[in-house]
Structure 1
Amino acid sequence: MSEGDAAGTDGTDGADAPVTRRPAAARVVLDSPLPQLDHLFDYSIPDELRDLAVPGVRVTVPLRSAGRIARGYIVEVVEAADGFDGVLSPLDSVVSAVPVLSPAVWTLARTASDRAAGGASDILRLAIPARQVRVEKIWQREQDEPRNETPLAPAPALEGYGPELERLLTDHARVALDVIPRVDRLASGTWVGRWAITLAQAAARVVSAGESAILAVPDYRDSDQLLAALADLLPVERITRVDANQPNAERYRGFLDCLTDTPRVILGNRSAVYAPASRLGLLALWDDGDPLHSEPLAPYVHARDAALIRQEQSGAALIFAGHTRSADVQRLVEVGWLNPIAPERASSPRVLVTARADHEEAGAVAARIPSMAWRQAKEALASGPVLVQVARPGYAPVLACGTCSSAARCTSCGGPLGIARAGAAPACTLCGAIAANWVCPTCEGTKLRLVTRGTGRTAEELGRAFPGVPVIVSDGERQVTTVEARPALVVATRGAEPVAAGGYAAVLLLDGDRMLAAEHLRIGEDCLRWWSNAAALARPGAPVVLTGVTGDLARALATWTQPAFASAELADRHSLRFPPAVRAASVSGDPSAVADALDEVRDLPGANILGPTATDDGVRAILRLDYGQARDAAKLLRGAVVKNAARRRKAPPGKAGYRPPPTLRVRFDDPEILS
């Protein structure tokens, strides 16, 4: 405060003179998807709300149009803006006294949305769960009660990696971690992937040092394994789970616990990256190449990118862990942003590769699998369960003409025909229409044949080939997370493989050629990840049989050299100028809006525009540019989105007063670009 502010204007002491204070203003981010409202709004704070209106709380505020009330969060409280002579609208109400929006999360949301040409409020909807009033009141009462916390055990060692990983973790460095491919038994008796134990040990070390850790995994199967590993090392009150599978009340309670000062491990799916955390010391992502880490909602920020931004802002340690390495992580390794760390002692599954689909053995004919795979399964079933990975769920998801092999299509909607279960009639997998009296439009054939066998058909054929052996199916419809060590055939789709006690006695990777047939630039990377994750579930020395695949991909799996494959993939992307070698964005909408948006970025150095090409609802163009230009491109494209949203659009004939919604959409790092 200046001397003039402290003293009265009459030259007296000023102790009893009234002091003129500028009215405080709350800067609010609105909870609105409208891009033109993606900035902070100033509101005056009524006297009755002055004690409650603090940064982070939920508020309602008036909008000038039509007297509407909008929801939002106070980002900061400041003095009224200099040079503003008008009267600020007052806050309508403070919804809750709990400051749910932390400064770190707001900064992350603002930066991540700007990088993706999106709105910060869209990310805040992912970061902050819907309010549960009853849960919040109970939590507030508990904060005033004394706590009896269980003492922490000494920090565990990071087994299997030597002192280098511990040093990098202590120094809050960034790491690309190649995990040990096996399953281990916890003290509780639960069997989990070794990767879960390693991440749990890293998180426990961080918590013992007085910091918090955030661990993000793709789905509930991974979360269950990691939760079991954490429970062996930390008290239950130091572990908080926040993911989409929880009931709303339970998830909100976990979120509120994250707001406290107690160091803890926060475990969840992709949105856990945005969780509030006291003194964040570690961010870890398991299997970042899994598409479940890709956010399907605007502004479509991948969990990996959000973690990179948050690490840079917080200075926490960062770990990307996996059995394989995505091309995105490999790029960060090659530019020196991540430190690659491998296990201290090399270990890998025993992979056998066969490209032949011979069926010399009678059992192999019945099971419709190569003889090598059948023999390995037969021998392994004497000592334990055998995992059989297939490409698709269902019974027979794809059918074709038995005469000319053309894909069988529904005569009503054009969707693919399939068979849902044994004995069922062929039907459309999209509209469900029964394919009665089907006739091939190409050759007029009337017979159908199976093209792809799903889990149901494979289980049926394996049951005939191995009579008396239990067959367990695990896919999207039947969720099995663990199996016992007794002999059984476990048929699972990729990513749905249960963990076997002691590991599988053999792993059969079927349908490799069909998986590779997908028209996607990342398909080789994805297949190697699917196969590696399944192979890591085998017990030491157990055979892992890959069928129908040869070449570099099979060699990378057999020699367990996934980083080398990722490096080769990245080199190919550089030559093609595709992500992640460059940043890319899709710009879609009606032709005029897309043309206006592209004009904004056309002159950026190194910008390369592909298209536009026609789509079902307009056109789409692809913008490719170097990482150094991406920030400017995102800002210009966001401006084009705001301009398009604010533009008046004429109502269609006969719909007076109706205003068509804007169609312009920008998506950076769009996964469809690679398909």
Structure 2
Amino acid sequence: MASVARVMLDSPLPQLDRLFDYAIPPALASEVVPGVRVTAALRSERRIADGLVVDVGDTSDFDGALAPLESVVSPARVLAPEVWALARRVADRQAGSASDVLRLAIPPRSVAAEKKWLAREAPAVVPVGAVPAVEGYASSAVESAVDGRARVALRSIPGIVELPDGSSVGRWALTLAQAAARTVASGASAILAVPDYRDQEQLEAALRSVVPGELIASLDARRTRPQRYAAFLSCLDDVPRVIVGNRSVVYAPAAKLGLIALFDDGDPLFAEPLAPYAHARDVALIRQEQQSCAVMFAGHTRSVEVQRLIELHFLTELAPVPLVTPKVVPTVAQDPQSRGDAGRVPSAAFRVATEALQAGSVLVQVARPGYVSLLACRRCGQAARCTHCAGPLQLASSHALPSCAWCGRLAGGWACSECANNTYRMVTRGSGRTAEELGRAFPGTRVIVSDGERPVTLVDGEPRTLVVATRGAEPVAVGGYAAVILLDGERMLQRESLHVGDDCLRWWSNATALAAPGATTVLVGVGGPLAQALGLWQQHSYAAAQLIDRRALGFPPAVRVASVTGKPAAVQQALDALLEVPIRDVLGPAPVTADGPRTADGGLVRAVVRFDYAHGSEVATALRGAVLRGATGTRRPPAGQKRQRPAPTLRVKLDDPEIL
């Protein structure tokens, strides 16, 4: 019997990011095995901590007496060896803690779901049956990539397909479902990651048409805790499954992993907002290297990060044969006078919508939800602000008084702070206002609004139906839309971000992909390379051009970046730790207030470190050391008082997509 357990403690403290050796009491010897939850004494904190057993053995490198484990929480082995290896690798790459990664990988425990899983009979292997070939690509191209455990970038085919049960999904969903079905039929598991629940509903519907339902495990935050934990436990069974979810699904345990596929990897929802901030794309690539499975990045557009990997010959491109090119008409070249609020729906788009409404539904994409999201003074044009908190004023409906978008206060007696004028005009129209205007422009038409407050995932596609949706909230129409109108393009491009062009092209392409074959998409008020890439359906060419520009400027993904945020002294100490590391340069430090509250002895500052991929491990190690030094430093207390540890202020974030 093993006598020593190596435990990863569940703690956010960076100094505890290592395995601790504990003695296994004789009473627990049969229960302590790798993967189980345990409790152990943490003497430095004088408390009992939760942990996961990573390994057991007979010896320890610690010379002193080992503290015994307190208890075994459950016999369920929830930490799979491949998940631990992945968590350790991701944490080291991102200068983070493995316990933070495991918190993303293993859902919160549900006792009832766990007891039911432990009492189950051994699951039987369910036959998949014949898997149809993936159509639209070169003969057996997708199948060969899956069977050969290849790394591919798949250009998804635009359009809507009808499944045997009568439901409609994007064609991309059926392609991924068929690739996953082939993987399961070969005796391996597949992990499919999508940005949000809308995509997940389509993918699950497509999967049910090619894979038995009991082989599909859905891991997403919308499910209740028992449901999510039960689905996670089912992934621990030695039965091939298709595991579907959002960004954290890339950490799911999987028996004999054969495929990891991400749809629309450029979506910001794949960027993890919690430490250690690892993007799902990077996690998938690390796991592919560790487990030698196939990896597939599919989408109607191509992220610049994937384009870089293609140019390095790390990924192989798979394009449809023959190419499918939707009909896209940019109005900026046809009707230059249509720009601005006065011509929000130009005559060309109006004619297309009028004709299309006779045959089916029409989709109108807008930038913002709500009624009117921004008001301005009618006389001087100054943005209308709340007199209480200086937040932007908005209108909830045509009959409502202006209210603050931040504090919610009504602004009945508002007057401009610049010219004292008390009248305002609408600057940006939201989905509600647009629906109202289009309802008047097309009398007798049913108008459906889909946004964050009124989510709609499917419409019947009947004629004289107008769907007004915010970007990313477009529902699927049965048979596809008869026309797609893309409004507010110029306003979408006004956002200050390195990825603004990539995001806009992705929003427009995903909406265009919902159109029926031969239907017209009208892009309003946008020209140049973006309109050309959308019109020719050559999104990969735009990504290639962006990568050239970023190489010249030294921007990601041509280089890697790390942000170091904290008090000036702490940031400088972290930068000093990089003196012996080969980095490109450091931008800053510069004052920052948005990332955190001001400290007692001054504001926070942030420095941006740029470095090459080859030196990522050295940079991460040096910055991790700086974080540890800041967390373990102590100050001498007054006589008679207990020694105190100051709260660390240093935060390191690698590959932050919003730094530049």
Q: Tell me the TM-score normalized by structure 2.
A: 0.95
Q: Does 1:549 align with 2:526?
A: yes
Residue 278 of structure 1 aligns with which residue?
A: 255
Q: Residue 191 of structure 2 aligns to which amino acid in structure 1?
A: I
1:252 to 214, 221, 229: 229
Q: Report if aligned partners of 2:143, 2:182 keep a CA contact under 8 Å in 1.
A: no
Q: Does 1:263 align with 2:249?
A: no
User: Using a 3 Å threshold, how does the CA distance of structure 1 residues 497 and 532 change in structure 2: closer, same or farther?
Assistant: same
Q: Report if aligned partners of 1:60, 1:95 keep a CA contact under 8 Å in 2.
A: yes
Deviates further, 382-391 or 639-648: 639-648
Residue 576 of structure 1 aligns with which residue?
A: 553
Does the residue aligned with 2:577 lie in a helix, a strand or coil? helix
Residue 17 of structure 1 aligns with which residue?
A: none
Residue 416 of structure 2 aligns with which residue?
A: 440
Residue 324 of structure 1 aligns with which residue?
A: 301
Does the residue aligned with 1:122 lie in a helix, a strand or coil? helix
**What pairs with 1:84-123 in structure 2 (closer than 5 Å)?**
84-123=62-101
Q: Please state how far the C-alpha of 1:149 moved relative to its aligned partner.
A: 5.3
1:247-280 Cα offsets, whole Å, 9 max, x none, are 1100000000000010010000001000000000
Deviates further, 419-428 or 547-556: 419-428
Q: Does 1:27 align with 2:3?
A: no
Q: Please state how far the C-alpha of 1:660 moved relative to its aligned partner.
A: 4.7
**What pairs with 1:143-542 in structure 2 (closer than 5 Å)?**
143-144=121-122, 147=123, 150-162=126-138, 163-355=140-332, 356=335, 358=337, 368-487=344-463, 488-542=465-519
1:299-339 Cα offsets, whole Å, 9 max, x none, are 11110010010000000000000000000111111111100
> Which structure 2 residue ranges, 5 or more long, are not aligned?
599-603
Aligned length: 645
In structure 1, distance between residues paired with 2:35 and 2:150: 30
Does the residue aligned with 1:138 lie in a helix, a strand or coil? helix
In structure 2, distance between residues paired with 1:213 and 1:642: 37
Q: Please state how far the C-alpha of 1:348 moved relative to its aligned partner.
A: 1.6
Q: Report if aligned partners of 2:450, 2:467 keep a CA contact under 8 Å in 1.
A: yes
Q: Please state how far the C-alpha of 1:97 moved relative to its aligned partner.
A: 0.5
In structure 2, distance between residues paired with 1:301 and 1:444: 49
In structure 2, distance between residues paired with 1:650 and 1:492: 60
> Which structure 1 residue ranges, 5 or more long, are not aligned?
1-20
Residue 601 of structure 2 aligns with which residue?
A: none
1:639 to 621, 625, 634: 625
1:370-413 Cα offsets, whole Å, 9 max, x none, are 11111100000001000000000000001111112122222222
Q: Report if aligned partners of 1:357, 1:547 keep a CA contact under 8 Å in 2.
A: no
Does the residue aligned with 1:569 lie in a helix, a strand or coil? helix
Deviates further, 160-169 or 388-397: 160-169
Q: Please state how far the C-alpha of 1:546 moved relative to its aligned partner.
A: 0.1
In structure 2, distance between residues paired with 1:407 and 1:658: 48
Q: Report if aligned partners of 1:197, 1:226 keep a CA contact under 8 Å in 2.
A: yes
Q: Report if aligned partners of 1:242, 1:266 keep a CA contact under 8 Å in 2.
A: yes
Q: Please state how far the C-alpha of 1:148 moved relative to its aligned partner.
A: 5.8
Q: Please state how far the C-alpha of 1:591 moved relative to its aligned partner.
A: 0.6
In structure 1, distance between residues paired with 2:579 and 2:386: 43
Residue 48 of structure 1 aligns with which residue?
A: 27
Q: CA RMSD in A?
A: 1.9
Does the residue aligned with 2:353 lie in a helix, a strand or coil? helix
Residue 39 of structure 2 aligns with which residue?
A: 60
In structure 2, distance between residues paired with 1:415 and 1:29: 45
Q: Report if aligned partners of 1:367, 1:462 keep a CA contact under 8 Å in 2.
A: no
Residue 592 of structure 1 aligns with which residue?
A: 569
In structure 1, distance between residues paired with 2:645 and 2:426: 49
**What pairs with 1:602-613 in structure 2 (closer than 5 Å)?**
602-613=579-590
User: Using a 3 Å threshold, how does the CA distance of structure 1 residues 169 and 275 change in structure 2: closer, same or farther?
Assistant: same
Residue 110 of structure 2 aligns with which residue?
A: 132
Q: Residue 90 of structure 2 aligns to which amino acid in structure 1?
A: A
Does the residue aligned with 1:251 lie in a helix, a strand or coil? helix
Q: Please state how far the C-alpha of 1:658 moved relative to its aligned partner.
A: 7.4
Q: Report if aligned partners of 2:635, 2:643 keep a CA contact under 8 Å in 1.
A: no
Q: Report if aligned partners of 1:651, 1:659 keep a CA contact under 8 Å in 2.
A: no
Does the residue aligned with 2:184 lie in a helix, a strand or coil? helix
Residue 16 of structure 1 aligns with which residue?
A: none
User: Using a 3 Å threshold, how does the CA distance of structure 1 residues 122 and 558 change in structure 2: closer, same or farther?
Assistant: same
Q: Report if aligned partners of 1:29, 1:39 keep a CA contact under 8 Å in 2.
A: yes
Q: Report if aligned partners of 2:362, 2:483 keep a CA contact under 8 Å in 1.
A: yes
In structure 2, distance between residues paired with 1:454 and 1:290: 22
Does the residue aligned with 1:312 lie in a helix, a strand or coil? helix
Deviates further, 91-100 or 414-423: 414-423
Q: Please state how far the C-alpha of 1:166 moved relative to its aligned partner.
A: 1.9
Q: Please state how far the C-alpha of 1:63 moved relative to its aligned partner.
A: 1.0
In structure 1, distance between residues paired with 2:579 and 2:415: 51
Does the residue aligned with 2:564 lie in a helix, a strand or coil? strand
Residue 619 of structure 1 aligns with which residue?
A: 605
Q: Residue 31 of structure 1 aligns to which amino acid in structure 2?
A: D
Q: Please state how far the C-alpha of 1:522 moved relative to its aligned partner.
A: 0.7
In structure 2, distance between residues paired with 1:343 and 1:121: 42
1:512-561 Cα offsets, whole Å, 9 max, x none, are 00001111111001000000000000001101000000001000000000
In structure 2, distance between residues paired with 1:33 and 1:301: 16
Q: Please state how far the C-alpha of 1:46 moved relative to its aligned partner.
A: 0.7
In structure 2, distance between residues paired with 1:640 and 1:378: 63
Q: Please state how far the C-alpha of 1:648 moved relative to its aligned partner.
A: 2.0
Q: Report if aligned partners of 1:177, 1:321 keep a CA contact under 8 Å in 2.
A: yes
Residue 120 of structure 2 aligns with which residue?
A: 142
Q: Residue 657 of structure 2 aligns to which amino acid in structure 1?
A: P
Residue 52 of structure 2 aligns with which residue?
A: 73
User: Using a 3 Å threshold, how does the CA distance of structure 1 residues 365 and 278 change in structure 2: closer, same or farther?
Assistant: closer
In structure 1, distance between residues paired with 2:121 and 2:383: 63
Identity percentage of aligned residues: 58
Residue 8 of structure 1 aligns with which residue?
A: none
User: Using a 3 Å threshold, how does the CA distance of structure 1 residues 124 and 117 change in structure 2: closer, same or farther?
Assistant: same
Residue 563 of structure 1 aligns with which residue?
A: 540
User: Using a 3 Å threshold, how does the CA distance of structure 1 residues 66 and 491 change in structure 2: closer, same or farther?
Assistant: closer
In structure 2, distance between residues paired with 1:528 and 1:603: 41
Q: Residue 430 of structure 1 aligns to which amino acid in structure 2?
A: W
1:576-630 Cα offsets, whole Å, 9 max, x none, are 1111110001000111100000111134224310000111231000000111111
User: Using a 3 Å threshold, how does the CA distance of structure 1 residues 493 and 67 change in structure 2: closer, same or farther?
Assistant: same
In structure 1, distance between residues paired with 2:503 and 2:45: 51
Q: Residue 81 of structure 1 aligns to which amino acid in structure 2?
A: S
Q: Please state how far the C-alpha of 1:123 moved relative to its aligned partner.
A: 0.7
Q: Please state how far the C-alpha of 1:419 moved relative to its aligned partner.
A: 1.0
- The structure 1 segments of at least 4 consecutive aligned residues displaced by more than 3 Å after TM superposition are 147-150, 356-360, 364-368, 649-652, 655-660
